[in-house]
Amino acid sequence: MTAGVSLAGAGLLGVSLSQKPGSTSFYALTLGVAGTWVAGGLASGPLHLGWVQTPKATLRRPLLTPVVAGAAAFASFYGAALVARRVPPLDAAISRVLRYAQQGSLPLVLTTTLANGIAEEVFFRGALYAAAGAHHPVLKSSAVYTLATVATRNPALVLASVPMGLLFALQRRVTGGIQAPILTHATWSVLMLRFLPPLFADEPSIDDPHPAQEL
């Protein structure tokens, strides 16, 4: 089942990012991607939130550390984005993704971003991680996560999926559940959505037939 869901979700993901920013089809398809991941995760068996041990040797749900991890991941990616702006292929790839935030409805983009981030963790760090078995589940689930992202045909997204997929999978291994990767993914996504578009605000839209003016 996980293989079929992976293929279906990846296919929808690729189609969704081929839609015009702000279009009804884009929002519908991105929510469809999220629904596919969630359905696959829930249908594959019970999901666990996970635990972390406190200094007093008691167990609690992971909360603060995953949020800090998400913020730290964002800081790293923001620094990388400053460099990527100077690399034309990466600059173009990032701009293609950010046009959905720059040209679309922010509330809807935020909703679909969070929905997909949470849904990805339900499936990839929930059902798929469990299905990977006892041998190298971190590497296996991360590899499938990256392969699914390849469907976007966007090198920036594929590159981002490698370290983030490994981080989320390691959190799953350490805590035994999906709450930590969900919180990290959500924090990282919201910060990226808030601060990355202004960094590329002077980039022309790829839909703009007029070239950028030279200063």
Q: Is residue 56 part of a domain?
A: no
The whole-angstrom separation of Cα 176 and Cα 128 is 13
The whole-angstrom separation of Cα 62 and Cα 72 is 16
Q: Is residue 55 part of a domain?
A: no
The whole-angstrom separation of Cα 126 and Cα 45 is 9
Q: Is residue 205 part of a domain?
A: no
Single-letter residue type at 201? A
Query: What is the arithmetic mean of pLDDT over 46-73?
Result: 96
Annotate 132-162 with DSSP letters as a single string. Answer: T-SSSHHHHHHHHHHHHHHTT--HHHHHHHH
pLDDT, tens only, 99-155? 999 999 999 999 999 999 999 999 999 999 999 999 999 999 999 999 999 999 999
* pLDDT computed for residue 1 by the predictor: 86
Q: How many CA atoms lie within 13 A of 51 on its CB side?
A: 6
Q: Is residue 103 part of a domain?
A: yes
Q: Is residue 146 part of a domain?
A: yes
Q: Is residue 54 part of a domain?
A: no
Residue 52's alpha-carbon distances to 59, 108, 118, 139, 209, in angstroms, are 6, 33, 20, 22, 53
Structural domain for 145, as ranges: 2-48+63-199
Residue 212 — very low, low, confident or very high, per pLDDT cuts 50/70/90?
very low
Residue 141's alpha-carbon distances to 3, 6, 93, 197, in angstroms, are 11, 11, 25, 29
Spatial CB neighbours of 185, under 8 Å, sequence gap ≥ 6: 70, 117, 118, 120, 121, 164, 168
Annotate 95-140 with DSSP letters as a single string. Answer: HHHHHHHHSS-HHHHHHHHHHHHHHHHHIIIIIIHHHT-SSSHHHH
Counting the structural domains of the chain, the total is 1
Q: Is residue 214 part of a domain?
A: no
pLDDT, tens only, 18-44? 999 999 999 999 999 999 999 999 999
The whole-angstrom separation of Cα 84 and Cα 88 is 8
Q: pTM here?
A: 0.92
Single-letter residue type at 65? T
Q: Is residue 40 part of a domain?
A: yes
